[in-house]
Amino acid sequence: MEPIVDLDFIDNRTPEQAAACDTKVTIDSNTGRSRKLYIESYGCAMNFSDSEIVTSILFDQGFDTTADISLADVVLLNTCSIREKAEQTVRNRLGQINYHKKKKPGMVVGVLGCMAERLKKSLLEEEKIVDLVVGPDAYRDLPNLINEVDGGQKAVNVLLSREETYADVTPIRLNSNGVSAFISIMRGCDNMCSFCVVPFTRGRERSRDAHSIVREAQNLVDQGYKEVTLLGQNVDSYKWTSEDGLEFVNFAQLLEMVALVSPNLRVRFSTSHPKDISDEVLYTIKKYDNICKYIHLPAQSGNSRVLELMNRTYDREWYLNRVDAIRTILGEDCGISSDMIAGFCTETEEEHQDTLSLMDYVQYDYSYMFFYSERPGTLAARKLEDDIPLEVKKRRLDEIINKQRETSLARNKRDIGKVHRVLVENFSKKSKEQLSGRNDQNKVVIFDKKHFKKGDYVDVLVHDCSVGTLFGEALD
């Protein structure tokens, strides 16, 4: 997942993107187990995926899940530390949970994830309601930590690992639509972007056994799932070598292995890093119809000097070379999205204009857009001055957002009059008489349901659009 710092979305988030940014709460499972788990997830898609791992680990230890926090014996918040607002949201939520804990004194309250890793033991002192603090690599220890709390002790495990991938843990799908699922293929990050806290909260990069990934994809197909998204902080740097050293799999090869699980299984991935995405990956995408023609390729800035300050390890010319490769190999209709940061340290007005001109060149289908906010412990916080006034940051962000809205609408208008293959994910938000799904380029498509249902592949003739959505008619 590409690091982000402060955000303002245009209105075209897909379910995958929403999962990466919204709160997710456990569903009910009533199998007669003795204790109830309630878990909320904040932040990136990797956190949501991790919550499914946590639920699986505790399910094996006698926990059912509940969507009613008042019934919970253990309440866990899986947190994000990417920006100050994300942490403050969790602190506010802990204050609300205190109401339930007062009514149920034996309730165990824990903080998981990046915020736990960043603040460690200090979180127990700052938030008296918190009983346990667990980092992203210590979820196997949760049963022992909960036992410690049951015995009257506070509990902490924030040790980072160079080996842990949870490859042998079968996730329990939370809030699943039964159509799309995440598969975590790697953990950690070796990139040291100067604005980002992720390398310090999730540790070094390590790739999961390729065969365990394929088995998980096959298991999902057997359960009726139609789409998987391969997750990693930087999927293009995926590299797995077998213990005997005889087998090596890179990301392009892994993509092919997952695509071959079933021709009816759509394969997506997130997130790509511009320094690593290779022509081999692009040609693999082109080779298989079930690998979606969509790439999230965060730029962060369109100016080479700013990119160097961000320690992104590529310049504007390199980024444009990768975009040109995508357009040449996969065609002009391949979906491309991005992240953009406005007002990074020392950014001049001319450098901001470089970001806008990059957007004009690439013609992104959509973007995540943020203004910079300093995060404690990052390289930028230690070495650079956050010297751009807030009102300038906000004005530059508004210009980026307006530019993206214009481009998104123009890109969507190109789709009018074309037939799109859509995987139905659910009803539309506005009517049970309409269905919602996504096309190959990750765009939301709304159409009258007729006789179609969730999980169907439907050919839809697009006749209208908004900035964030395509509207069409299902073809029989």
Pairing of strands 63-65, 335-342: unpaired
- Where b means 16+ CB within 10 Å and e means fewer, 150-183 reads eeeeebbbbebbeebbbbebebbbbebbebbbbb
Query: How far is 54 from 364, CA to CA, in rounded Å?
Result: 35
User: Which tokens is 387 given?
Assistant: 């010297």
How far apart (Å, rounded) are the C-alpha atoms in residues 181 and 164? 21
Q: Is 334 annotated as a binding residue?
A: no
Q: Is 345 annotated as a binding residue?
A: no
Kindly tell me the burial class for residue 149, based on how many C-beta atoms sit within 10 Å of its own C-beta (0-12, 13-18, 19 or more): middle
Distance CA 469, CA 444 (A): 5
- If we measure between CA atoms, which residue out of 69, 73, 125 comes closest to residue 99? 69
Residue 21 marked ligand-binding: no
292 is known to lie in a ligand binding site: no
Tokens read off for 442: 């990750």
Alpha carbons 121 and 132: distance in angstroms, whole number: 9
Query: 3-state DSSP call for residue 372?
Result: coil
196 has binding-site annotation: yes
- Cβ atoms of 191 and 273 within 8 Å: the answer is yes
Residue that has been written with the tokens 């008489």 in this structure: 433
Give the C-alpha separation, 220 to 148, whole Å: 35
The rounded distance, in Å, linking the Cα atoms of 214 and 210 is 6
Point out the annotated binding site for [4Fe-4S] cluster.
44, 80, 114, 189, 193, 196
As annotated, the binding site includes: 44, 80, 114, 189, 193, 196
